[in-house]
Copies of this chain bind each other. A is one copy, B any other.
Amino acid sequence: MNFDPAEIADLDARDPLRAFRDEFQLRHGLIYVDGNSLGAAPKATAAQLAAAVSQQWGEGLITSWLGANWSTAPQRIGDKIARIIGAASGEVIAADSTSVNIFKALTAALSLRPDRHIILSESTNFPTDVYMMQGISAFSGGRIQSVAVEPEAVLERLDEDVAVLLLTQVHYKSGLVRDMAEVTRRAHEKGVLVIWDLSHSAGAIEVDLNGAKADFAVGCGYKYLNGGPGAPAFLFVAERHHSARPVLSGWFGHASPFTFEEDYRPAEGITRFLCGTPPVLGLVALEAGVDLLCRADMRELRKKSLRLSQLFIEQMEERCGEFGFTLVSPLEPDLRGSQISYAHPNSYEIVQALKAFEVIGDFRAPDVLRFGLTPLYLRYADIVEAVERIREVCVTRAWDKPEYRERAAVT
């Protein structure tokens, strides 16, 4: 389908989410299709961080732990994220990195399945997920086995030896969406617990953790939650698993951290899965991003995301069909996250050259171009224009020209 500019303008004018774009700092002319790597900066974040530094920290000093509610920020922000991912209040904390939270979820799951010795994932999962599994296996001296099978073989590998299955809901490279409810059901049939990595789901698609009876979930604060570079991640533990004893049993997960007891005694509820002192400044920035997202209707967000990706695919076929791009993402809307990926022999060079044309996407080895389509701040017109610029790069083979390569390297 070929859209004319008036049609596109009309789509943008009627977009119920159109007001959100103005909440972000996005320089004029830039088309930012890398929100799945690092979400754009909400305009509110700078002011909220400035207040946290100058007023809360600078003036309030130590008293801000209570006075500015720093001490409950992990749970408060967790409750907000819970609304985005279909969890209940009291089931989510914002804390640590995704990798560390994966460790927490894996070890908690293992403690709930003490007679099982396999932790399972798929071989093409985002690497840190599998690396964390391998670390646990090495530390256990081989008692715990880390197994990663081909994506298609995951369900048939489930058996009574498997303690926990760790899967990413939306694949980081292809954007393929796993059926969370069905996979969880199949795992539970074998007594296997499931950890869902929502790094590419939270804020990107509708997620219903409790509807799917998920056991654990982790996810990233700096992608679609727009929490800033290296933002604190989040951890979901279904209420029925709150009795699990944390391995990373730091003082902020203690039932009474400020009485300085000699023995670890886990706090009730999700709080026990905190470990060290919460990263306040990172949490302030994360909260600004999450607050913005909480104002959006997730159904509208998903609807727009799919329309953006549909338009992207169609325009790519129409305008760049002759340049050898192979669609990696699923055509079927239900199976598609909020990104579109293509394989191309020159993918790295194209991504680099595109920066000189003010289109920022990203490259994933060995040959994938990945375009994150964040519905909060992308317009339909941006999609059309992005494809035009990709076409220009391909027509001129811009990546062969040293001036573009140099400019790209600088940005």
Q: Which residues of A contact B (CB under 8 A)?
A: 25, 27, 32, 34, 37-38, 40-41, 45-46, 49-50, 53-54, 56-65, 67, 70, 96-100, 103, 107, 111, 123, 126-128, 130-132, 134-136, 138-139, 148, 220, 222, 228-233, 245-252, 254, 257-264, 275-283, 285, 355, 360, 362, 364-365, 410-411
A62: contacting residue among B64, B257, B362, CB under 8 A: B362
Known A96-B96, A128-B250, A275-B99; judge A61-B46 contact (CB<8 A): no
How far apart sit A176 and B65, CA to CA, in the bound complex (Å)?
26
Chain multiplicity (copies)? 2
CB-nearest residue of chain B to A232: B279
Least Cβ–Cβ distance between A5 and chain B, in angstroms: 27
A123: which B residues are within 8 A, CB to CB? 262
Contact across chains for B70 and A230 when beta carbons are under 8 A apart: yes
Within 8 Å CB of A99, what residues of B? Answer: 248, 250-252, 275-277
Q: Are B100 and A263 in touch, CB under 8 angstroms?
A: no
A131–B251 CB distance below 8 A: yes
Q: How far is the CA of A41 from the CA of B40 in the complex (A)?
A: 27
Q: Which of B38, B233, B252, B258 contacts A61 (CB 8 A)?
A: B38
User: B130 near A100 (CB under 8 angstroms)?
Assistant: no
Contacts of A27 in B (CB 8 A): 59
A260 touches B127 (CB 8 A): yes
7 A-B pairs with the lowest CB-CB distances in the bound complex, closest first: A97-B276, A99-B250, A135-B249, A99-B276, A229-B280, A128-B251, A25-B58
